[in-house]
Structure 1
């Protein structure tokens, strides 16, 4: 099957070639001729497998990120996403959390097909609102093939759209986003106050023990947010602080991986914390990382052995029966962080788009027992092992 799939792009030669082989096989063939036929078939298959150029670009170290170009799409890579999360506050000081994510996923379709109907990329979007008054996470999702100006991601700057949902970066760096979900609407402006935070090794982010298990990854923390949230027909002015991630890659996770836990936190002193662990199917740690940038711009990177995640309290989902460690203690070096959720039920069922169920929610953060900031915490692979 692999050979047939690989060779199927040779549309002019392929059918006639195999027709000739089948005709030969219908005739009595001397033993020497059988060996020759087998040799020809094997050589042709090897040519298909080894001569076909790579479909997607690899992630390599020491490839500097350049802006504003890298704010935009990178269609030569398999996967890409723009991911904005944050805490909002109403005029009555009521806290809300929000998540807006746009994914671009390359398909296995022939990229040389000139047809505008060719489904070369899929665009997927998730949106969620954490409102303790609602008692559960409000969320929505969309997906469509790229094309016809209805769903797209653009190169050169952030400009992603799926129907009437969009995220656009203006020339001054401010982001504008509009989401008209089933149970709520978001119209938000996100204004940078700091330069991009390049994760890991100048934006080369390791995701496993093998060097190819990596992505290009930067964050924009400490974004100042203003806009409106509409619920039950009522529009409310909001303000707050957000975090935006942009990541693109080609490699899959390590085969031993089961899922991951991730947090991005805007700290009250102007610092920014990002940490994650990739969990193994055996319950161990496949990989881990943390990075902290202080208000002066100094960046501190922590190696896998310096980062630990220790669950403190769990919550069981009434929808999926999955058990999530919603309160998590993270240690980076000698510093201890504690994540506490705005509400326990922040599970997002995206099986209609990405096929996964994950927990994604607003959390408060303490540092060595003292209040330190607010962020967003993501957990995947708790319903079933995550497959990418």
Structure 2
């Protein structure tokens, strides 16, 4: 999913349900590699239609870098914070979503190269921090005739000429363009995949099947070019990747979520996501993960952090009020952070409305100064997701 939690705004990862809200209806017509394998408890169960995430199961790489078409919903989420040698800052998002309109059967797949129950869509944004300008873009395509798709070996996800593609083991190239902005970036893995939740099994509700399989690849060194208008910038920085797949819905009364992905300047990383209820509280399954600079992980229970909203921003487009400044405390990590959005208006008004943008934090960890850059995703502020989904 890409959230942070506890209070009324934190939900990280993938940002799981976000993609579900985006999926078009049936009427629409038109790495790094890790060589490790994680074992777990049980196999998934399958409904009459789609496979569901019922319990922990093995995640294997590079196989699970690719698509899982038997699950209804899936996304590959890239967000990053970049800057030039002169210190000019940018943020970016490049996300590929897959939604199955019907279960994929041999009859459907074999019927025609143009016939597919899989729909892909992609969101591409650039945040120009210096000019306080946000550039959001969206594309859709069916998985047919090579127009869009995903594969494991070699790893590739694409929608027309927007793509994430392995160019050598441990390196992925991202490419996307629009009339006003372009991105060409090479990501290099520095840490192995992080299994979110219980060995990659991430609960989103108490009901059976309201869960996803979810991993992240954090602190990826990123080098490349951003073009804004007629200006080209050589940039470096760090990228966070989330990959999540599921067949699920939010529990009744869950109106949205807040998701934080923060990459700290000591090489560690923090993900928090809070599934918000109508009264502003977060659900019991809200959670987080801390990743040390050497890849060790700690799960952060929703009772183990406190996030206070210090300011908000009002969208003149959707009329939603989004948190824009936060204070985060996680006593078990001896961590305290204060941060804000680097551009107030990073709201996407595309096929769905949500806020996802670059943020910056400063604070202390074990009484030593620390800083972080990252992304926050906030959904359900313009439209309740338990109604949309």
What TM-score do you get using the length of structure 2 for normalisation? 0.81
For residues 114-172 of structure 1, give each alpha carbon's deviation from its aligned partner in whole angstroms, at most 9, with x where no partner exists.
Answer: 23332401100001111134433111110111110111122445311111111112341
Gaps of 5+ in 1: 1-51
1:263 to 260, 264, 287: 260
Q: SS of 2:325's equivalent?
A: strand
CA distance in 1, matches of 2:227, 2:294: 37
* Structure-to-structure mapping, 1:348-367, within 5 angstroms: 348-351=348-351, 356-367=352-363
Quote the residue 2:318 is aligned against: 320
2:50 to 50, 53, 56: 56
Would the aligned equivalents of 1:71 and 1:157 in 2 still touch at CA under 8 Å? no
Q: SS of 1:124's equivalent?
A: strand
* Structure 1 or 2: more helix by fraction: 1
RMSD: 1.9
CA distance in 2, matches of 1:204, 1:109: 22
CA distance in 2, matches of 1:155, 1:68: 6
CA distance in 1, matches of 2:237, 2:320: 31
Would the aligned equivalents of 1:70 and 1:157 in 2 still touch at CA under 8 Å? no
Would the aligned equivalents of 1:139 and 1:183 in 2 still touch at CA under 8 Å? no
Quote the residue 1:108 is aligned against: 102
Would the aligned equivalents of 2:62 and 2:152 in 1 still touch at CA under 8 Å? no
**Residue 295 of structure 1, CA deviation:** 1.7
For residues 32-82 of structure 1, give each alpha carbon's deviation from its aligned partner in whole angstroms, at most 9, with x where no partner exists.
Answer: xxxxxxxxxxxxxxxxxxxx9622111132311111111111111111111
**Residue 342 of structure 1, CA deviation:** 1.1
CA distance in 2, matches of 1:317, 1:364: 20
Quote the residue 1:288 is aligned against: 286
Check 1:158–1:252 CA distance in 2 against 1; reply closer, same or farther (3 A cut). Answer: farther
CA distance in 1, matches of 2:51, 2:205: 18
CA distance in 1, matches of 2:357, 2:377: 7
1:332 to 330, 333, 336: 330
**Residue 267 of structure 1, CA deviation:** 0.9
What TM-score do you get using the length of structure 1 for normalisation? 0.81
CA distance in 1, matches of 2:347, 2:223: 25
Would the aligned equivalents of 1:288 and 1:307 in 2 still touch at CA under 8 Å? no
Quote the residue 1:304 is aligned against: 302
For residues 251-270 of structure 1, give each alpha carbon's deviation from its aligned partner in whole angstroms, at most 9, with x where no partner exists.
Answer: 11112211100011111111
Would the aligned equivalents of 1:73 and 1:158 in 2 still touch at CA under 8 Å? no
1:236 to 229, 233, 241: 233
CA distance in 2, matches of 1:53, 1:259: 26
Quote the residue 1:246 is aligned against: 243
Would the aligned equivalents of 1:311 and 1:327 in 2 still touch at CA under 8 Å? yes
* Structure-to-structure mapping, 1:154-193, within 5 angstroms: 154-193=151-190
Would the aligned equivalents of 1:176 and 1:189 in 2 still touch at CA under 8 Å? yes
**Residue 109 of structure 1, CA deviation:** 6.5
Q: SS of 2:295's equivalent?
A: coil
Larger Rg: 1
Would the aligned equivalents of 2:262 and 2:271 in 1 still touch at CA under 8 Å? yes
Gaps of 5+ in 2: 1-45
CA distance in 1, matches of 2:190, 2:259: 23
How many residues align? The count is: 333
**Residue 306 of structure 1, CA deviation:** 2.4
Q: SS of 1:285's equivalent?
A: coil
